Structure 1
Amino acid sequence: MSAGTWGFDLSLLGAPLVAGLLVVATHVLLGRRVLERGIIFIDLTIAQVAALGVIAVGLIEVDHVDGWLTQLAAGVAALVAASLLTWTEGRFRKLQEALIGSLYVVSASAALLLLARNPHGAEHMQELLAGQILWVGTAQLWPVAVLYAGVLGLWFVFARTRPKAFYFLFALTVMASVQLVGVYLVFASLILPAIATSGLDERRGLCVGYGLGAAGYALGLWLSVPLDVPAGPLIVCVLAALMIGTAIVRRLS
Structure 2
Amino acid sequence: MEIISFLAAPFVMCLILVGIHCYLGLHVLKRGVIFVDLSLAQVASLGSTVALLFHLDHHSSLNYFISLGFTFVAAGYFAWAKKYEKYISQEVLIALVYAFASSAVLLVVNMMAHGAEHIKEILVGKILWVTWMDVLKTGVIYSIVALIHYIFRKQIIAASMEKSDSSSFWDFVFFSLFGVVITSSVGIAGILLVFSFLVVPALLSSNLVSSLKGQLLLGWVIGTILSFIGMTLSYVLDLPAGAIIVVVFTVLPIFVLPFILRKKIAT
Aligned pair 1:123/2:117, yes or no? Answer: yes
CA contact (8 A) 2:44 2:68 kept: yes
After superposition, residues 147-162 of structure 1 pair within 5 angstroms as 147-162=141-156
Residue 232 (structure 1) aligned to one of 222, 226, 242: 242
Counterpart among 4, 7, 12 of residue 13 in structure 1 = 7
Partner residue, 1:96:
90
| Residue 139 of structure 2: aligned partner | 145
Residue matched to 2:45: 51
Which amino acid in 2 is paired with 1:185?
A: L
Using structure 1 for the length normalisation, give the TM-score: 0.90
Q: Which amino acid aligns with 2:195?
A: F
User: Residue 133 of structure 1 aligns to which amino acid in structure 2?
Assistant: I
SS in 2 for 1:229: coil
1:225 maps to a residue whose letter is Y
Matches of 2:2 and 2:75, distance apart in 1: 39
Name the CA distance, whole Å, in 1 between partners of 2:137 and 2:129: 16
Matches within 5 A, 1:177-192: 177-192=185-200
User: Aligned partners of 1:226 and 1:43: how far apart in 2?
Assistant: 30
* Unaligned residue ranges in structure 1 (runs of 5+): 1-6
Indicate the residue corresponding to 1:213 in structure 2.
223
- Report Cα offsets for 1:90-118 as digits up to 9, x if no partner: 23453311000100000010000001132
- SS of residue in 2 equivalent to 1:197: helix
- Following TM superposition, the consecutive aligned residue runs of length 4 or more in structure 1 with deviations greater than 6 angstroms are none
* Other-structure match for 1:202: 212
Deviation at 1:139, TM superposition (A): 1.3
- With over 3 angstroms needed to count, the CA separation of the structure-2 counterparts of 1:176 and 1:107, relative to structure 1, is same
Q: Note the C-alpha offset of 1:197.
A: 1.5
The answer to whether structure 1 residue 166 and structure 2 residue 159 are counterparts is no
Do 2:48 and 2:58's aligned partners in 1 also have CA atoms closer than 8 Å? Answer: no
* Structure with bigger RCO (C-alpha 8 Å, 6+ apart): 1
1:74 is aligned to 67
Uncovered stretches (5+) of structure 2, i.e. residues with no partner: 160-170
Letter in 2 for 1:52: L
Provide the C-alpha distance between the structure 1 equivalents of 2:64 and 2:4, rounded to a whole number of angstroms.
Answer: 27
Percent of aligned pairs with the same amino acid: 35
Per the alignment, do residues 38 and 66 of structure 1 end up closer, same or farther by CA in structure 2, a change over 3 Å counting?
closer
In 2, Cα distance between equivalents of 1:216 and 1:249: 18
Counterpart amino acid of residue 247 in structure 2: C
Summarize the Cα distance change of 1:159–1:17 in structure 2 as closer, same or farther, 3 Å threshold: same
Shift of 1:249: 6.5
**C-alpha distance in structure 2 between counterparts of 1:172 and 1:159, whole Å:** 17
Q: Is the 8 A contact 1:128 1:183 kept in 2?
A: yes
Q: Measure how far apart 1:72 and its partner are.
A: 0.9
Which of 106, 128, 134 in structure 2 is aligned with 1:134?
Answer: 128
CA positional deviation for 1:243: 3.4
What is the root-mean-square deviation of aligned Cα atoms in Å?
2.0
The Cα shift of 1:244 comes to: 4.9
